[in-house]
């Protein structure tokens, strides 16, 4: 899609109502879609669409109207940004809120670009639709696969006072150095009342944050000759016990070498009771120093630190299951707590079903940014994702989203059945999304049936990624005729008419058009097709499609 990052290539084969089946090869950036032709209705004279609709689109309906936006264009193209701000009341980031955009190779989070987009959009009066918390692509697959590393039997941290049993009654010297740099304020203590094991544990209380994330830290030995014997590039697992008395408190776990490389640079969100954590990482240098940065307010306890060589886990390993579960929970927690009041809804589970079947996605041996949460968590990743999202965000709407629902009745039925099952089980799903990457020949009966089936769940229904291809057969040297542009406008209008007709008012959450101008569409940029699927041309002029959508929104 018009987004920053390319992914892989897959075939999407829709179920058609006629005997002809076309397999479309598509490169995915945001979500994988089928843009093949549906059944061809009898040709009719095109209506006299023009480009005189006044807009803005957000004033044309009682529900939410959004646009998908790209980081580079929204940040650097003033015309693009002004158009988005005028037409929409909410935006979806095509790539910038995904796991792969935020999670680093060591498991830590970098929200810097996401923060920029959120700040710019909210300053313009827009709210954000969060996309997406769990998907099988656009993830940091290298980091997630590293979670399958399990600990060997020899503790490489032995002799470093990782159990905090050595030292004076008030310190852990000479094994640990403690740092507090002004203006930060913190107190370090030897905890004897309730250690995780033995008679002592480490305790720190941070009362004032510093300027830098490392202004309050605990440093192991701080001497290269006495550090633990890590080897540059080797895989290891840190195991430790931790707890906090602070809601949403976290601290950072780091190994730092003489080159200043950091790994794992991992933000740990400990529970309120003693819990053991396992953190896989790649060693950043020879003989690194283990450090803990306390860059959040609150009180934290640490005990029984160990480091082991890592080996590959066997299938079904409970250690890995727990680790993947923890990574999912921490990712969702970091995401949904970051923008309270700015992100009002989330695609919690994106594209759970395989193409053309009632089979939930899973897989092994993935590469690149593909990774299946179900490999280790099974189908429970779906309920876990919704439950974690609601645990840390009490108010946002929580959606499940998929594509080809207007083409494929098997997938549609399975998707709706899963939504109903989640509701019955008390899982906090509040809405379902249909992507609707369609074309001017898409079967309108399939569109109607889809909205009826989704509405039957009783959940909110959202058109999440709407665009309409004019050139689904991928003709080269293609230039849209006026008749085709009018057909596109007719289809945009029909989608909204069907939405109004088949989804009760209380369930209409809204519609998002997947992009702004044709030249930045994912179909053009990522798939390399010659097409014009959106509402504005490359010069930001309204197309007949704009009028079609406007009339559909206004029920004209």
The model's pLDDT over 91-134, given as tens digits with 9 standing for 90+, comes to 999 999 999 999 988 888 999 999 999 999 999 999 999 999 99
Asked whether residue 327 falls in the same domain as residue 252, the answer is no
pLDDT of the residue at 324:
95
The percentage of residues in the chain with a pLDDT greater than 90, rounded to a whole number, is 74
Task: Tell whether 163 and 124 lie within a shared domain.
Answer: no
Decide if pLDDT at 53 tops 70. yes
Cα angle value 100/464/2 (rounded, 5°):
50
Selected residue with higher pLDDT from 30 and 481: 481
Cα–Cα distance, 425 to 427 (Å, whole number)? 6
- Mark whether 268 and 128 lie in a shared domain: no
pLDDT at 377 over 90: yes
> H-helix or E-strand containing 238?
strand 235-244
Please give the residue range of the domain that contains residue 496: 9-147+318-554
Q: String of b and e for 360-384 (b: at least 16 CB within 10 Å)? A: bbbeeebeebbbbbbbbbeeebbbb
- Does the pLDDT value for residue 496 go beyond 90? yes
157 shares its domain with 117: no
Per-residue pLDDT band for 279 (boundaries 50, 70, 90) equals: confident
Is 244 inside a domain boundary? yes
Question: In the structure, what pLDDT confidence band is assigned to residue 321 with cuts at 50, 70 and 90?
Answer: very high
pLDDT at residue 267 is higher than 90: no
Domain boundary among 312, 332, 364: 312
What is the model's pLDDT at position 225? 65
Domain presence at residue 157: yes
Does residue 3 fall inside a structural domain?
A: no
For the entire predicted model, the pTM comes to 0.79
Distance CA 423, CA 459 (A): 9
Q: What is the pLDDT of residue 16?
A: 31
3-state secondary structure of 292: strand
Last residue of a domain, one of 295, 312, 329: 312
- Residues 435 and 501 grouped into a single domain: yes
In this structure, is residue 2 part of a structural domain?
A: no
Any domain includes 549: yes
Residues 199 and 248 in one domain: yes
Q: What is d(CA 345, CA 64) in angstroms, rounded to the nearest whole number? A: 11
> Do residue 383 and residue 246 come from a single domain?
no
| pLDDT tens track for 10-46 | 333 333 333 333 333 333 344 444 443 344 444 444 4
Is residue 515 domain-resident? yes
Secondary structure of 331-351 in HEC code, one letter for each residue = HHHHHHCCCCCCEEEEEEEEC
Virtual CA dihedral for 353, 322, 229, 241, nearest 10 degrees? 150
User: Residue 268 belongs to what H/E stretch?
Assistant: strand 262-268
* 507-528 tens-digit pLDDT: 999 999 999 999 999 999 988 9
* Cα(347)–Cα(259) distance, integer angstroms: 40
Instruction: For 131-151, give one letter per residue: b (16+ CB within 10 A) or e.
Output: bbbbbbbbbbbbbbbbbbbbb
Asked if 353 and 487 sit in the same domain, the reply is: yes
């Amino acid at each position: 899609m018009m987004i920053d990052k390319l992914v892989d290539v897959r075939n999407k084969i829709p179920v058609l109502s006629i005997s002809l089946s076309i397999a479309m090869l598509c490169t995915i950036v945001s979500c994988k879609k089928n843009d093949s032709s549906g059944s061809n209705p009898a040709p009719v004279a095109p209506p006299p669409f023009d480009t005189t609709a006044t807009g803005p689109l957000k004033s044309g309906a009682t529900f939410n109207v959004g646009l998908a936006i790209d980081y580079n264009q929204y940040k650097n193209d003033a015309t693009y940004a002004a158009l988005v701000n005028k037409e929409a009341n909410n935006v979806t980031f095509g790539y910038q809120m995904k796991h792969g955009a935020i999670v680093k190779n060591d498991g830590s989070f970098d929200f810097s670009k996401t923060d920029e987009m959120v700040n710019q959009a909210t300053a313009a009066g827009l709210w954000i639709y969060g996309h997406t918390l769990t998907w099988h692509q656009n993830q940091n697959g290298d980091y997630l696969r590293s979670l399958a590393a399990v600990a060997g039997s020899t503790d490489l941290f032995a002799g470093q006072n990782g159990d905090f049993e050595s030292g004076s009654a008030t310190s852990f010297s000479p094994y640990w150095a403690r740092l507090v740099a002004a203006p930060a304020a913190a107190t370090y203590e030897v905890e004897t009342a309730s250690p995780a094991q033995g008679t002592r544990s480490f305790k720190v209380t941070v009362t004032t944050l510093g300027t830098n994330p490392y202004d309050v830290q605990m440093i192991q030995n701080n001497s290269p000759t006495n550090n633990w014997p890590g080897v540059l590039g080797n895989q290891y697992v840190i195991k430790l016990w931790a707890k906090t008395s602070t809601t949403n408190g976290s601290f950072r776990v780091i190994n730092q070498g003489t080159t200043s490389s950091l790994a794992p640079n991992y933000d740990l969100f400990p529970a309120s009771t003693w819990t053991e954590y396992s953190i896989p990482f790649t060693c950043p240098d020879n003989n690194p120093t283990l450090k803990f940065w306390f860059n959040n307010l609150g009180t934290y306890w640490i005990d029984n630190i160990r480091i082991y060589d890592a080996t590959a886990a066997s299938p079904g390993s409970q250690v890995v299951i727990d680790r993947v579960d923890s990574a999912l929970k921490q990712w969702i927690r970091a995401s949904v707590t970051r923008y309270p009041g700015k992100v009002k809804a989330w695609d919690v589970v994106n594209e759970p079903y395989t193409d053309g079947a009632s089979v939930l996605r899973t897989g092994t041996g993935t590469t690149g940014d593909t990774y299946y949460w179900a490999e280790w968590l099974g189908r429970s990743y779906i309920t876990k994702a919704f439950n974690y999202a609601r645990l840390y965000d009490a108010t946002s709407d929580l959606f499940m989203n998929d594509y080809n629902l207007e083409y494929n009745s098997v997938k549609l039925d399975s998707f709706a059945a899963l939504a109903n099952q989640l509701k019955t089980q008390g899982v906090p799903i509040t809405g379902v999304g249909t992507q609707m990457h369609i074309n001017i020949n898409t079967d309108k009966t399939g569109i109607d049936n889809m909205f009826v089936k989704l509405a039957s769940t009783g959940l909110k229904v959202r058109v999440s990624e709407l665009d309409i291809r004019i050139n689904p057969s991928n003709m080269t040297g293609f230039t849209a005729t006026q008749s085709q542009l009018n057909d596109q406008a007719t289809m945009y209008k029909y989608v909204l008419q069907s939405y109004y007709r088949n989804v009760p008012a209380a369930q209409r959450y809204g519609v998002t058009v997947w992009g702004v101008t044709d030249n930045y569409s994912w179909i053009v940029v990522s798939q390399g097709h010659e097409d014009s699927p959106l509402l504005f041309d490359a010069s930001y002029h309204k197309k007949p499609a704009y009028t079609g959508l406007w009339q559909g929104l206004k029920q004209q």
